[in-house]
Homo-oligomer: A and B are copies of this chain.
Amino acid sequence: MGDTTDVPNRMSDNDEPDRLGEFDLIAAYFRPLTEGRPEALDLKDDAGLLTPPKGCQLVVTTDALVAGQHFLADADPECLAVKALGVNLSDLAAMGATPAAYTLALAAPKPIVPGWLQTFASGLGDMQAAHGIFLLGGDTVTTNGPLTLSITALGWVAAGQALRRSGAQTGDDLYLSGSIGDAALGLLVARDGRTLAGVDGDAFLRDRYDRPRPRTALGPRLVSIATSCIDVSDGLAADVGHIAKTSGLGAEIGVQDLPLSDAARAALAADPSLLKTLVTGGDDYELAFTAPPSSAAAVATAARESGVPVTRIGTMTTEPDVRLLGPGGAMLDLGPGGYRHF
């Protein structure tokens, strides 16, 4: 317990050198992330202010990440920033929301190193630019424990139009953005030192683990097209299971239809047992969504306009559970943790 003044309202409150000694760091690295937007009030007031676009609902998501658990303890701070924002923006995309702003709670071990903070802030800034958001507020504190980040991302969606996990209909096509399993393979490369797809391929896979690319351009374009949507963070099988379960349905996924990167394809060719990793590993931050066959052209247009590849990977069924079908339609059982009842 330090003293009685240890609860700063906002970053800007840490402005006494005898407090955290971080005043200069925050002014130097966090205030610029507000991009001078009046909503952030220069991080100098008790809270931030956002004006709702007409006819919109606010979409709010909060994700926490702990060093050594949700990211490697020695993770590059730029990757960390990208990941912390990425997982939250991915949630907004899954709801069809257009990202607006975010708040950051950073609990950092002492001492906070300026160089570390600079790289971290740089990663945040890159993500801001890529997704059209800015820092609205937050809090910086120190901890005796591991680095802990909590981000709350805020976005807007036309009232009543948010995409939900529920809503899929029997016979709907099941789609997936981007490619699947890269991040899970990348973790094997990064954490376990596995060699899976050659030097360039492994670098690609690791990058996919380190730097999620939340599909914020695609999600809002799926509004009024998709009947359900989720972001793939827990693994394709599990997350399609969430859609199926909340929609009161099941799903069939054609394994041969899964979009794989060249690197994932090479890894799978060398070690077919990696199929389970591809299908059940997490951290993809792709969108899985459903739409009726009559919307196939609209889905293709949304994909083209957003610059995000979209692949039809299966069908929603009345029969419950998620089934993985191999070539010829045989059901695959990936063993414990693979094929699961949801």
Q: Which residues of A contact B (CB under 8 A)?
A: 1-10, 13, 16, 18, 41, 44-52, 56-66, 68-70, 72, 87, 91-92, 94-95, 97, 101, 103-107, 136-139, 141-146, 148, 150, 152, 154-155, 157, 159, 162, 164-165, 183-184, 187, 191, 230-231, 233-235, 238, 246, 281-283, 337
Complex: how many Å from CA A52 to CA B44? 24
- Check A137/B60 contact, CB under 8 A, given A1-B191, A72-B1, A230-B46: yes
| Cβ B5 vs Cβ A62 within 8 A | no
| Cβ A60 vs Cβ B45 within 8 A | no
Please give, as numbers and ranges, the residues of chain B lying within 8 Å of A87 by CB-CB distance: 7, 9
- Check A148/B107 contact, CB under 8 A, given A5-B282, A44-B246: yes
| Cβ B152 vs Cβ A62 within 8 A | yes
- Check A233/B137 contact, CB under 8 A, given A143-B66, A283-B4: no
| Cβ A136 vs Cβ B60 within 8 A | yes
- Check A52/B49 contact, CB under 8 A, given A9-B91, A148-B148, A233-B13: no
| Cβ B164 vs Cβ A231 within 8 A | no
Complex: how many Å from CA A44 to CA B246? 9
| Cβ A154 vs Cβ B46 within 8 A | no
- Check A150/B105 contact, CB under 8 A, given A9-B61, A45-B165: yes
| Cβ B62 vs Cβ A94 within 8 A | no
A-B pairs with beta carbons under 8 Å apart, 11 shown: A4-B184, A9-B234, A13-B233, A13-B234, A46-B165, A58-B154, A60-B154, A61-B137, A69-B144, A70-B141, A103-B152
| Cβ A234 vs Cβ B165 within 8 A | no
